[in-house]
Amino acid sequence: MQNSLIIKDLCIEIEKKKIVENFSLQINENETHILMGKNGSGKSTLINAIMGKPELKIKSGSIKLNSTDISKLDTSKRANLGIFTSFQNPVEVPGLSMRNFLRIALNSKLLAENKNAKTYSPLEFVEHIYKLAKEMNLDSDLILRELNTNMSGGEKKRSEILQMAVLNPKFALLDEIDSGLDIDALKKIANTIKKIQKKNKTGLLIITHFPRILKYINPNFVHIYKDGKIIQSGDKKLALKIEKEGYNE
């Protein structure tokens, strides 16, 4: 059975102000969707709502993973079901090592899928993550760092993609994963995203302001987001048109 993340007529409010209004989108496994829109249009709020940020109140609509409505589940349960989010500005957590954070997260996901699943000991996980980093061409030095602490913008983006590689999500919501990267770092991260998608048939929703990531990732769909909903959809050509003419056109 094909996995699908189905968002239908979603309306989100913050302090009685509508941020997302009648938003609908279906992302199937192995599909890549690009979401573009002006700053402040609510794209990050949309992703946070899909992931279950508590202060974002769903007034109506639904979020389904296949036939299961996940709208009322907390964030950890959504993550264990296979939804992953990367953030524009990842939070720094001093004192928490990347390897311990990821081992606990992965073991939690494995046990949620099967209560009798074999989990990773600290030593087994270190071996696993180094092997995975090599396979995905990721920087293994991040494994020894504290979670996002004292990292550059580019290192934080690579940290997010390493987390995605370890957790094997069914669906990944990537919020400006290309921002603040030089061209070499962007190419490397884009190639890793493609490897993860190929391995796991991951469905992708990528928020971006700049079509340059499309030099390395070929989307199935490009959507223009305004006033809390999609106002136009197309293919890669739509993103290039936006770059040339702007959103007002």
The tens digit of pLDDT for each residue in 224-234 reads 998 888 999 99
Task: Using the predicted structure, report yes or no on whether residue 220 has a pLDDT greater than 90.
Answer: yes
Q: Nearest-CA neighbor of 105 among 127, 132, 78, 137?
A: 78
Residue 141 makes CB contacts below 8 A (sequence gap 6+) with none
Given a cut of 90, is residue 137 above it in pLDDT? no
User: Which amino acid makes up residue 132?
Assistant: L
User: Do 62 and 69 contact (CB within 8 A), yes or no?
Assistant: yes
Number of domains in the chain: 1
> pLDDT grade, residue 171 (50/70/90)?
very high
Burial (0-12, 13-18, 19+ Cβ within 10 Å), 45: middle
Other CB atoms within 10 Å distance of the CB of residue 20: 26
Spatial distance between the Cα atoms of 112 and 80, rounded to a whole number of angstroms = 6
Distance CA 23, CA 33 (A): 14
Phi, psi of 14 (to 5 degrees): -125, 120
The pLDDT of residue 179 is 84
Residue 141, domain CATH: 3.40.50.300
Q: Provide the residue range defining the domain that includes 145.
A: 4-245
Phi, psi of 227 (to 5 degrees): 55, 40
The confidence score (pLDDT) of residue 172 equals 98
Q: Cα(199)–Cα(178) distance, rounded to whole angstroms? A: 21
Q: Say whether pLDDT at 140 is over 80.
A: no
Question: Mean pLDDT over residues 203-218, rounded?
Answer: 90
What DSSP element (H or E) covers 226? strand 221-226
pLDDT digits (tens, 9 = 90+) for 60-103: 999 999 999 999 999 999 999 999 999 888 889 999 999 999 99
Question: How large is the C-alpha radius of gyration of the chain?
Answer: 18
Q: What percent of the chain has pLDDT over 70?
A: 100
Nearest Cα to 44, choosing from 1, 90, 79? 90
**Cα-Cα-Cα-Cα dihedral of 180, 185, 190, 195, to 10°?**
-140
Q: pTM of this prediction?
A: 0.93
**C-alpha span between 12 and 53 (Å, rounded):** 11
